[in-house]
Amino acid sequence: MRLEDNVVNQILGPEQPKFKIWSSAGLMLTYWCPSRCACCYVFAGPDAGREESEMSVELALTCWRGVRELAGQRGKVHITGGEAFGNYERLKTILQVACEEQLGGLEKIETNAYWCTNDKLVHRRLAELKEFGLTRLQVSTDVYHQEYIPLERVERAVRIAREVLGETGIQVRWRDFLAEPVLVANMSGSQRAAAFSAALAKRRERLLGRATDELVNLFPLIIRYVWQGFT
């Protein structure tokens, strides 16, 4: 994509500075989440949803339209939170209107699968959203998320998303964890810290939000963990 393709840049003179191409946006519908993951970079949680911080259907669609107007067919949006499925009717309405307007560009919806409590419900919701343009569901699963979300819900989400959306319609973040999960909910404090340190040594996290409170102090342990790997 060229800078000139941006619709704002098209009206600027050759000497004027150009806007960066902005072709992707995450629509963060809410800060509410049933979990309080230690890695959460936005401090989402059960008490975090505030009326003034909720993204309305209209604001979500305005942002979505804006991305498509600015970046054309290359414009992509993904929908996230907090937990985007916390208010399912809002989520469905956003996709429904976007579908009616033929906005296009929906990349994926992210979820922690907390709502995947039975097959029928998951099947119905994914089929509905597919009708309105959903092609990919991203399911979060790692040592931090599974402190709060039963693993069986993640497994159900993955299985049914594969049935409804196809093999390319499910993105598991992370597959290696799902294959060999480490569940810390019933561990002691020191065991939990060691499990988090091992996860951090394996994969980097954005140290923002709650992660600055809960993970930064583990770094000495990470160094120890990595060091043990050399000896």
Is 35 an interacting residue with respect to ligand SF4 (CB under 6 A)?
A: yes
Q: Which of 6, 30, 87, 112 binds ligand SF4 (CB under 6 A)?
A: 112
Using the rule CB under 6 A, give the single segment among 32-40, 63-71, 85-93, 166-174 that binds ligand SF4.
Answer: 32-40
Minimum distance of ligand SF4 from residue 43's CB (angstroms): 8
Task: Say how far apart CA 93 and CA 99 lie, in whole Å.
Answer: 10
Is 86 an interacting residue with respect to ligand SF4 (CB under 6 A)?
A: no
Q: Which of 25, 40, 71, 95 binds ligand SF4 (CB under 6 A)?
A: 40
Closest CA to 131 of 164, 103, 163: 164
Using the rule CB under 6 A, give the single segment among 39-47, 165-173, 178-186, 218-226 that binds ligand SF4.
Answer: 39-47
Minimum distance of ligand SF4 from residue 102's CB (angstroms): 30
By CB under 6 A, the count of residues binding ligand SF4 is: 14
Minimum distance of ligand SF4 from residue 160's CB (angstroms): 19
- Of 36 and 159, nearer to ligand SF4 (C-beta) is 36
Residues 66-85: x where in contact with ligand SF4 by CB under 6 A, - otherwise, as a string: ---------------xxx--
Residues contributing to the site for ligand SF4 (CB under 6 A):
33, 35-37, 39-40, 44-45, 81-83, 112, 140, 145
